[in-house]
Structure 1
């Protein structure tokens, strides 16, 4: 039996070691080192934003975005049910009510056509979450936001290097965020970033990130913030990774197309779509959805693959099915069948940046064993 094929493994064969050694040699390991500003500036320029604020993780970035927009108790934000809990959590912790929409079965993204019917007098924003490799169809979202004077929080955590009609994802929101978790196209181990074009928002985020220290009176505080500072060591990794983003996107698209060829004869699965008219898939992960004719659910298939030393991950449990929110009395009457089906039928297979063709063939061989 072959060695375990992990669901993700990043690539560290660029300037990462060189920049890490520079941090150690100079003594700049904390959040005040020079790689912080370099990473923020490089990311802002790459995305096409005026400002970027590096933070500890994507969840922290979302929470900063919500607070910076001054969303508060009684406000409502429309968002997809099929996403990671960080999105809804950032709202609930601020006293904001998440209002959920279902997702498309082919792109996994929120059903844009359902947004307008969810708008009430309390709606203040739309949280757009790009899922797995293709962006949300942004033009109609932007039209709705303009029509009803709504803010857009853009969760581009999974979209490093992706574009919508030629414009970078992460550049559409009033405020946008990225994550640098190890499964992302750019990783700093853990890390996140907030981006915007508004100087008031960026100054607010910078203050909240740094315990709301008052300039010139470091240990005097007029409000409570957080310590969400990224370290210089993490930022050094980010700078090295960002230098190779185009290479990484190309590699991910090769992985996606290779899997399409290897798995196209398995009749009981639905493979991710290669592209929409507004974007080509960049495959954060390689997601697979089991057809109804398959006699197994995703959990069963993942268990069998695990026994064959193939790593997998389940799809998101939708927000309206999360026990923690149901105990709060949230989403008890929501019916979002696509999101529920994706969770029951969906999973993803190894597709990390460091994966080899031999590993992909091993994954394919074992998927054939399990599903044919």
Structure 2
């Protein structure tokens, strides 16, 4: 009885939400405001992805076909110029696989940017590896080479560097060189920068291991997903060992993932999402997935954590790979709009380091703190709603003290969309 009443209550709330949304849309129509703005998620989904998801939902006979996953992994490895690639259900799980492959043990230390998503330190916490934070630079929001050496101790085993917002880390080569000097391993966080290049090579290939994300806010999407790569055959063997230890998602979870392909397309990508999004939300909103759960923000390992990618999502991933270069080209072209805007209004552009090609998942800019706290100015003047990654320096969870550049980014960094 309680469950029935709860379900009815949720349905009523969803109908009320639709009513409020459409009332706002009517107000926009009357005032001449745009009904849609460029989205920050699932902008690489198209009708072909939706049709594929519907086909997969209608025919579940090959949901356990490992060859589909292997094909996706091979295609990603070839496209990324990596020798080995293994697909998981999240970038954070791919990071866990990297931690396992490197043989990091309880008590070991790893240096991590003090400006990251909580799921990154969580992966180390779940393996009982100690995270030592180091400050970032404000050119590309990557680790600052000038701050790292002081964080190295006798227990340090690895450095995690990230390529944030689609930019190539300013001190990329210098960090790799420093790690070699101290005989440390390098983990590359490429979750934001799949396809970015440095000296003619895609990011993720200078370090020992790398991980990528296909979560719906990233460069390409399988709704949730991640890939671990390496060019070292011994590390590849360890990645495979981890891979064999973790399960596939349950059928119900896969069903939700595929329905989210459809939901996300109509809510965030379709030109008429201002009303179609609500229609599809009424139909399938109860299947909506959350990328980072409340458990994870508190550092608690979720029950579904630690799974490898299954065939239906690998099929979506393979389809997305066919379009990734085209979408990254579009991002670079769109970013020029923000280059001009920065020049016109006196804001510093993010740094594109020499011999690099960014992909601009988002375009980060340091603005006045009040402009980050209230971004309505961007909607009124530019017709966009900017992202506010990150509201804390271990987003969206806690703040760690003593990192002035990370604090500055938290206070002032907004990020504009680069696809419309």
TM-score when normalising by structure 2: 0.71
* Post-superposition offset of 1:322: 5.0
Comparing 44-53 and 199-208, the one that deviates more: 199-208
5 Å matches for 1:79-98?
79-98=112-131
After superposition, the C-alpha distances for 1:215-250 in whole angstroms (9 at most, x for unaligned) are: xxxxxxxxxx97512122211121111112221221
For 1:201, the equivalent position in structure 2 comes to 235
For 1:360, the equivalent position in structure 2 comes to none
Distance 1:270-1:120 versus aligned 2 partners, 3 A rule: same
* Post-superposition offset of 1:14: 7.4
Q: CA RMSD in A?
A: 2.8
For 1:216, the equivalent position in structure 2 comes to none
Tell me the distance in 2 between the aligned counterparts of 1:263 and 1:135.
20
5 Å matches for 1:38-187?
38-136=71-169, 137-187=171-221
* Post-superposition offset of 1:75: 0.8
Contact map agreement 1:297 1:344 (CA 8 A) in 2: no
Alignment partner of 1:314 is 2:388: yes
Tell me the distance in 1 between the aligned counterparts of 2:395 and 2:384.
30
Distance 1:15-1:33 versus aligned 2 partners, 3 A rule: farther
* Post-superposition offset of 1:83: 1.5
For 1:276, the equivalent position in structure 2 comes to 353
Distance 1:339-1:212 versus aligned 2 partners, 3 A rule: closer
Contact map agreement 2:134 2:148 (CA 8 A) in 1: yes
Q: Structure 1 regions of 5+ residues with no counterpart?
A: 214-224, 356-372
Q: Structure 2 regions of 5+ residues with no counterpart?
A: 1-32, 248-303
Higher percent of residues as helix:
2
Distance 1:31-1:208 versus aligned 2 partners, 3 A rule: farther
5 Å matches for 1:200-349?
200-211=234-245, 227-262=306-341, 264-267=343-346, 269-273=347-351, 275-290=352-367, 294=368, 296-300=370-374, 302=375, 305=378, 310-316=384-390, 317-319=392-394, 322-323=397-398, 334-349=401-416
Distance 1:311-1:240 versus aligned 2 partners, 3 A rule: same
Tell me the distance in 2 between the aligned counterparts of 1:280 and 1:205.
28
TM-score when normalising by structure 1: 0.79
* Post-superposition offset of 1:63: 1.6
